[in-house]
Amino acid sequence: MHLSGPLTARWTSYLGVLSTLSAVYTPAVAVKEHDFKKCDQAGFCKRNRAYADHAIASSSWQSPYTIDPNSGSFSNGQYHATILKTINDKGDTVRLPLTISFLESGTARVTVDEEKRQKGEIVLRHDSTARKERYNEAEKWVVVGGLALDKTARIESEDNTQLTVKYGPTSNFEAIVKLSPFAIDFKRDGASQIKFNDQGLLNVEHWRPKIEKAPEPEKKEGEGSEETKEAEKPREEMKEEPNGEDESTWWDETFGGNTDTKPRGPESIALDITFTGFENVYGIPSHTGPLSLKQTRGGEGNYQEPYRLYNADVFEYILDSPMTLYGSIPFMQAHKKDSSVGVFWLNAAETWVDITKAKASKNPLSIGTSAKTNTHTHWISESGLLDVFVFLGPTPKDLVTKYAELTGTTAMPQEFSLGYHQCRWNYVSDEDVKDVDRKMDKFKLPYDVIWLDIEYTDEKKYFTWDEQKFIDPIGMGKQLESHGRQLVTIIDPHIKNVDNYPVVAELKSKDLAVHDKKGNIFEGWCWPGSSHWIDAFNPAARKWWATLFKYASFKGSMENTWIWNDMNEPSVFNGPETTMPKDNLHDGNWEHRDVHNLNGMTFQNATFHALQSRKPGELRRPFVLTRAFFAGSQRVGAMWTGDNTAEWGHLKESIPMLLSQNIAGFPFSGADVGGFFGNPDKDLLTRWYQAGAFYPFFRGHAHIDARRREPYLAGEPHTTIIGAALRLRYSLLPSWYTAFHQAHVDGTPIIKPMYYTHPSEEGGFAVDDQLFVGNTGLLAKPVTEQSKESVDIWIPDNEIYYDYFTYDIIPTSKGKTVTLDAPLHKIPLLMQGGHIFARRDRPRRSSTLMKWDDYTLVVTVGRDAKLSEGDLYIDDGDSYDYEKDQYINRKFVFDGSTNAITSTDAEGRDTKSIKEGDWLKKMHGVSVDKIIIVGAPASLANKKVTVESDGKMLTAAVEYAPAGSGRAAFAVIKKVGVSIASDWKVNLA
Ligand SMILES: *[C@@H]1O[C@H](CO)[C@@H](O)[C@H](O)[C@H]1NC(C)=O
């Protein structure tokens, strides 16, 4: 959460504290758009946009980057060369090592560094403890695999202007590397897909000495080669950047009263990346605005500003904006009919991305063909390496799976975390928590987790409790545990700087905090007032952090206590743009500038590992929610979209925002149900629960100044309607868990946009207000507008669609929009024919209590009545035993030609040979209770079916309802009685 608009009582009391201190900080009461930089207020962004304007406007522009023709070498799937950047009219150059790696996965990686600076130059630097070289450790935090080189990649042709490398699993990819100016054209099946430096916007701001007014440094007589002499020449001889470049922000710049010193001077990197023939680009979350990204260079309906990626605590964020938010994933996908390609820009510094679309100039010889649209993107980062991964698809799934190979997949979650989470800032006491817990039961509202925001602590000292209000945390935890429920407490990275607080004393004495530019422990302001920040980049700090979570250290925590990491952008109330000064120093003396967007992930990761080591011998899956994130954060928990507002617009925006998370590799995502700021009216609250039931992470949350809004307070009919949405979520948990498992296996989105599921259907490429859940064929379109009693659903194919609740056949066809009634109690939810999905229909108080419940299978018969298929993945939902075969993974098939439904192991394992632990043994007693067949064949009117399982032949009764007035025929096979863990066959004929 963020500081409220009207000062809270607590904050007012900080002011009292503050005014007694020497450095008085006046808090910004309401952070608004102008409190965050626009591109022209970030020196490097402004310079690179100006560079682009100049290059694009001038017809004679030539990019000053060329590959030294004698420098190239190719071996073992890697091309090495040196790019020479010409920096003046005399032809002086700077040397930039280039590596192009061709990976076994078919992904290509382009890395540009800057040759190590010469000693003589470093002497000229002004004093700083910061590192001198470009930051080169983003890979260390982000990339966990997929880097094996493709030894079969080969140079197909080469002359003194370019070389062509053939690569990819079927050698149908090509990289054509042009030497002068340096450019790359990535092709698939002979057609250009992605071009680097096609517009000539590559820019590597090379290291240069700061020209002090001091006397001229002595010229040295070099003894080395000609080349070394050149490099050792004091750079002031090599007159820089000809065209009156704006140097005003090279060495420092000020914004909002904060001055950023830049000991390394200007060091940005930028590159234009063209997606040839692609009109839609997606990804680079988190932003508000449509899933299909907008143009950013002005014009009707476009943004004026580039999309910005600089994790920040943005107070009362605005809708439809390229402004930065709390987390960043620099992974972009381009899509056109039947073709997807993408890039992953591995850089953790502040990054801006301009997007423009233009008709490709028509080839005069190809008369009759209409000009295609190209999407031009311009990526600009403040520091670090230029390091870009290129994915050539061709499907959206290829992109997400290749990206997942590099950055990892969603961790298998605690199963309870897919249930509903009840949060507010704040439940005020242990009695309050217990009361909410009782009332949820009284109103038959299922939930799994109740949350405590910062007020549970003793004056914002994490790992402590306000002992006046939380008198018996263990008693509270035990009441929750008795219904299989959990508690999440907040623990943030800012550690209160106060006497008699052992946590801060250790942080300081062990020197594990982030440092300021002078190397002293950084001090800033956050919830507790004066604070220090743990430096989770430091292995010793992570080790220490883990000790704090031991049950014996964090007294009052227990086995059902989990953690929420907020404010980890990090949020620093008195810092520039509410975050840390960029010249702060982290472990290894890297500047905060270099690692900013990684900061939240390293902290969440530290907490994740801390939870794993709470108790020796107890390895359970942690649950950690984070606000800040980066590529790779999916490996260690869930995210939410931060401090939204109780307005219809925010409800609506949550769908494209979460779809964007899902296609960008971090699908375990949600938005605060009800809206954080303000008070939703009852209809809005109700509609938000109906939408939230389709968020991968489903949590209600509210600001401290917001009125209480636990769902039982809404009154009728709202409470009952909300309860139905919660129960819908709970009954579908087996299918949600299966979708999470798929995300864990290969990075597949949990909720899917239309372009992803139907990459051929152009009409769906911009549709971002409806979604498919996993592989269930469930198509949801939450109502997100006030007083709306119907929705228009876009139908992607010619499959049959049934209403989830009534089994009505939706009259529709491919590419058409169908209008569905959606009065307040109704969630627009369709079932696409051709699927089988699992539910657990018995209403319970929490997911844990459903652990041994029987299953219902729903078969949706397709239009051609041939095959319906589906999966169900089950494990104990808590341990890592699934890594040792302790799971069930079924494949269900309804075959219309044999008129039978079968269940087999989805991986074709010999399940009989698995050594079964207690959980798996017990699962044999869990049955398929019911099979519902929607669009049932008439043969089922026979009343009975035979069931074969484990060598036995049984019969089961059938209730059959013939089709009638728009409704499909359906059948319910009752008391099927087969084990969910076994192979079986139901003969319908
Ligand atoms: C996460 O923590 C582990 C254990 O300390 C460490 O090995 C790993 O590098 C960390 N990763 C990130 C992304 O912080």
What confidence tens digit (pLDDT) does each residue in 233-265 have?
444 444 444 456 789 999 999 999 999 999 999
Q: What is the pLDDT of residues 302-357, one digit of tens each?
A: 999 999 999 999 999 999 999 999 999 999 999 999 999 999 999 999 999 999 99
Give residues with Cβ within 8 angstroms of 199, minimum separation 6. Answer: 52, 55, 56, 272, 274, 376, 378
Asked if the 44-206+266-407 domain carries CATH number 3.10.129.10, the reply is: no
Query: What is the distance in angstroms between the CA of the first residue and the CA of the last residue of the chain?
Result: 59
Per-residue pLDDT at 226 exceeds 70: no
All structural domains of the chain with their residue ranges:
1-30, 44-206+266-407, 415-757, 769-987
Write down the catalytic residue from 566, 583, 672, 876: 566
Q: Residues 262-286: what's their mean pLDDT?
A: 97
Angle CA 351–537–671, to nearest 5? 55
Reply yes or no: is the peptide bond before residue 622 cis, omega within 30 of 0. Answer: no
Give the nearest ligand 1 atom to 635 CA: 13
Q: Say how many Å lie between the CA of residue 784 and the centre of ligand 1.
A: 39
Q: What is the pLDDT of residues 642-679, one digit of tens each?
A: 999 999 999 999 999 999 999 999 999 999 999 999 99
Q: Residues 848-874: what's their mean pLDDT?
A: 97
Give residues with Cβ within 8 angstroms of 657, minimum separation 6. Answer: 285, 286, 287, 288, 641, 671
Instruction: Tell me if residue 643 is catalytic.
Output: yes
Ligand 1 site residues (CB inside 6 A) read 141, 542, 601-602, 605, 609, 632
How would residue 128 be classed by pLDDT, with cut points 50, 70 and 90? low
Give the residue among 501, 503, 507 at the shortest CA–CA distance from 521: 507
Q: Residues 383-412: what's their mean pLDDT?
A: 98
Percent of the chain residues topping a pLDDT of 90: 87
10 Å CB burial of residue 811 (0-12, 13-18, 19+) is exposed
User: What DSSP state is assigned to residue 891?
Assistant: E
Contacts 24+ apart (CB under 8 A), 96-99: 96/65, 96/204, 96/206, 98/67, 98/182
**Three-state secondary structure call for residue 922:** helix
Angle, helices 599-612 vs 539-548, to 10°: value is: 50
Q: Report the C-alpha gap between 308 and 972 in whole angstroms.
A: 53
10 Å CB burial of residue 80 (0-12, 13-18, 19+) is middle
Is residue 493 within 8 A of residue 603, CB to CB? The reply is: yes
Q: Report the C-alpha gap between 342 and 329 in whole angstroms.
A: 13
Q: Residues 49-54: what's their mean pLDDT?
A: 97
User: What DSSP state is assigned to residue 736?
Assistant: H
Q: Say how many Å lie between the CA of residue 87 and the centre of ligand 1.
A: 40
Q: Report the C-alpha gap between 748 and 667 in whole angstroms.
A: 8
Residue-level length of the chain: 989
How would residue 22 be classed by pLDDT, with cut points 50, 70 and 90? very low
* Integer-rounded Cα radius of gyration of the chain: 29
Give the nearest ligand 1 atom to 140 CA: 9
Q: Say how many Å lie between the CA of residue 608 and the centre of ligand 1.
A: 9
Asked if the 769-987 domain carries CATH number 3.40.50.10190, the reply is: no
Give the nearest ligand 1 atom to 141 CA: 13
Mean pLDDT rounded to a whole number for the chain: 92
- Can you give the three-state secondary structure of 926-956, one letter per residue? CEEEEEEEECCCHHHHHCEEEEEECCEEEEE
Is residue 910 within 8 A of residue 917, CB to CB? The reply is: no
Do β-strands 486-490 and 173-178 pair in parallel, antiparallel, or remain unpaired?
A: unpaired
Give the residue among 567, 209, 544, 165 at the shortest CA–CA distance from 392: 165
Q: b vs e for 505-541, b when ≥16 Cβ sit within 10 Å of the residue's Cβ?
A: eebeeeebbbbbbeeebbbbbbbbbbbbbbbbbbeeb
How would residue 32 be classed by pLDDT, with cut points 50, 70 and 90? low
Residue to substitute in 137, 406, 542, 586 for testing ligand 1 pocket (most ligand atoms within 8 angstroms of CB): 542
Give the nearest ligand 1 atom to 142 CA: 13
Instruction: Tell me if residue 569 is catalytic.
Output: yes
Closest residue CA from atom 4 of ligand 1? 609
Alpha helices by DSSP H, 60-114: none
Closest residue CA from atom 13 of ligand 1? 141
Per-residue pLDDT at 367 exceeds 60: no
What pTM was computed for the model? Answer: 0.94
Closest residue CA from atom 9 of ligand 1? 141
Per-residue pLDDT at 213 exceeds 70: no
**What are the structure tokens assigned to 27, written together?**
């808090």
Q: In whole angstroms, what separates CA 491 from the centre of its chain?
A: 21
Write down the catalytic residue from 492, 569, 653, 854: 569
Q: Residues 784-799: what's their mean pLDDT?
A: 98
Q: Say how many Å lie between the CA of residue 532 and the centre of ligand 1.
A: 21
Residue to substitute in 144, 602, 607, 666 for testing ligand 1 pocket (most ligand atoms within 8 angstroms of CB): 602
Is residue 761 within 8 A of residue 754, CB to CB? The reply is: yes
Phi, psi of 112 (to 5 degrees): -125, 125
How would residue 365 be classed by pLDDT, with cut points 50, 70 and 90? low
Give the residue among 823, 828, 832, 841 at the shortest CA–CA distance from 859: 832
Per-residue pLDDT at 531 exceeds 90: yes
Q: Say how many Å lie between the CA of residue 593 and the centre of ligand 1.
A: 20
Give the nearest ligand 1 atom to 543 CA: 5
10 Å CB burial of residue 439 (0-12, 13-18, 19+) is middle
619 against 17, higher pLDDT: 619
Q: Report the C-alpha gap between 839 and 934 in whole angstroms.
A: 15
Q: What is the pLDDT of residues 129-158, one digit of tens each?
A: 778 789 999 999 999 999 999 999 999 999
Per-residue pLDDT at 216 exceeds 90: no
Per-residue pLDDT at 949 exceeds 70: yes
| Domain 44-206+266-407 identical in fold to domain 415-757 | no
Write down the catalytic residue from 305, 382, 577, 643: 643
Is residue 586 within 8 A of residue 537, CB to CB? The reply is: yes
Residue 588's identity, in one-letter code, is G
State the fold for domain 415-757. Answer: TIM Barrel (3.20.20)
How would residue 211 be classed by pLDDT, with cut points 50, 70 and 90? confident
Q: Residues 526-554: what's their mean pLDDT?
A: 98
**Three-state secondary structure call for residue 21:** coil
Residue-level pLDDT at 694: 99
Reply yes or no: is the peptide bond before residue 248 cis, omega within 30 of 0. Answer: no
Q: Say how many Å lie between the CA of residue 606 and the centre of ligand 1.
A: 7
**What are the structure tokens assigned to 637, written together?**
């928990």
Give the nearest ligand 1 atom to 537 CA: 14
Token pair 């769908």 in the structure block, residue? 655
- Helix (H) or strand (E) segment spanning residue 918: helix 918-923
- Helix (H) or strand (E) segment spanning residue 209: none
Helices and strands (DSSP H and E) totals, the chain: 18, 51
Q: b vs e for 696-728, b when ≥16 Cβ sit within 10 Å of the residue's Cβ?
A: bbbbbbbbbebeebbbbebeeebbbbbbbbbbb
Q: Say how many Å lie between the CA of residue 611 and the centre of ligand 1.
A: 13
Q: Among 303-307, 348-352, 363-367, 464-468, which stretch is predicted with the lowest mean pLDDT? A: 363-367
Instruction: Tell me if residue 150 is catalytic.
Output: no
